[in-house]
Amino acid sequence: MTEIVLGVGASHSTLMNTHWEETYHKDRAERFRDALGQARDALAAARPDTVVLVGSNHFRGFWLDLIPSFTIGVDECIASGESGTPKGPQPVDRELALYLAGSLVERSGFDVAFSARLQIDHGQSHAVQYLLDGLDVDLVPLVVNVFAPPLPTLERCERLGRAIREAVLAFPGDRRVAVIGSGGLSHRLPWPDWRDPNGEDEEFMVGAWLNGRENWQDYDVRRREIIRAAEASLNPEFDEEFLSWMERGQAHRLTEYTTAELEKVAGNGAQELRTWLLMSALLDHIPGRRLAYEPMPEWLTGMGVAVLDPAQAPAQTSAQTSERQS
């Protein structure tokens, strides 16, 4: 019987790789990095065969010429390798990935896109670098559109997580499957709404997103400069509340937000919390354990790590289960 053995939610930032020495709050940075190590050790102890890796893409694998809401990598998966993250082919559990893609279409009403040659960036490879370091696991990469509106609603992301859970548990065999949600917490990136760019920098960014399919590296130097020049905009109060939901098994409460409301309270980068929400739904929203929360203005992001372990979760009452599924 296929099992779901662990869930991990973790923020990512390439500034952790490229600007570690310039980081002022080194104590916070070290606590976050140590928490990633703890989560990595928890994954190793869970002995997964496969990791469903839910993440975003920052216009290095998807462009404005075609952006699906959800895409499953079903064969080749290639990491772009920007900013010190892993580069090159990643191992894919092709059998499970194809099964999930088919099951979601035929049984769950989710017409997910699929890719037989998926390019991921640090929205997922940051997790490969720090959470899967040294682990012999295959991936089922799932990319969620969190940056090019219209975005899939939070409620639909939660329902997709539950549908994938049902499909994984019905998969023949005895796979041990872990889930990672990579992204968030609160942060605001100097990225425009592509439909209405204002000023030279925003017009450049939209041009990069539209024209970068064959030459994304040509745009990265100026993209990096624009990001480095941005002022941090974090909301630690929101982050604390969200992590408390994770600890109480209430991450589904994020669906109370519309996309616009979430951006207003936690920034456009917080749309990545869809990945945590999907992960939590895949773990049936069991109560989790917070390993770290560190507001990192130098990295423009609220950095959090949490683990959801079915072996440690208290038994749920039927009323609680019904509440989560309503």
Which one is catalytic: 12, 58, 126, 187? Answer: 187
Mean pLDDT rounded to a whole number for the chain: 95
pLDDT in tens, 114-136: 999 999 999 999 999 999 999 99
322 has a pLDDT exceeding 60:
no
Question: Taking the model in full, what pTM does it have?
Answer: 0.95
Catalytic annotation on 187?
yes
DSSP secondary structure letter of residue 232: P
Residue located via tokens 């049984």: 107
Half-sphere exposure at residue 25, Cβ-oriented, CA atoms within 13 angstroms:
17
pLDDT category of residue 321 using cuts at 50, 70 and 90: low
Mean pLDDT, residues 201-228 taken together: 95
The per-residue pLDDT for 316 is: 55
pLDDT in tens, 56-105: 999 999 999 999 999 999 999 999 999 999 999 999 999 999 999 999 99
Which one is catalytic: 122, 126, 252, 285? Answer: 122
**Rounded CA gap, 242 and 254, in Å?**
8
Assess contact for 85 and 107: CB atoms under 8 A.
no
Assess contact for 269 and 184: CB atoms under 8 A.
yes
Assess contact for 72 and 114: CB atoms under 8 A.
yes
Mean pLDDT, residues 207-212 taken together: 96
**Rounded CA gap, 132 and 85, in Å?**
12
CATH number of 3-189+230-312: 3.40.830.10
**Rounded CA gap, 212 and 61, in Å?**
9
Mean pLDDT, residues 178-203 taken together: 96
Mean pLDDT, residues 237-244 taken together: 98
What percent of the chain stands above pLDDT 90? 95
**Rounded CA gap, 173 and 176, in Å?**
10
326 has a pLDDT exceeding 80:
no
Catalytic annotation on 122?
yes
Strands (DSSP E) contained in the chain are 3-10, 50-55, 70-80, 87-90, 113-120, 138-144, 176-182, 289-296, 301-308
**Rounded CA gap, 182 and 100, in Å?**
20
The values of phi and psi at residue 60, to 5°, are: -125, -10
149 has a pLDDT exceeding 70:
yes
Which DSSP string corresponds to 274-323? HHHHHHHHHTTT---EEEEEEEEGGGTEEEEEEEE-TTTSPPPPHHHHHH
Short-list 180, 202, 207, 203, CA closest to 189? 202
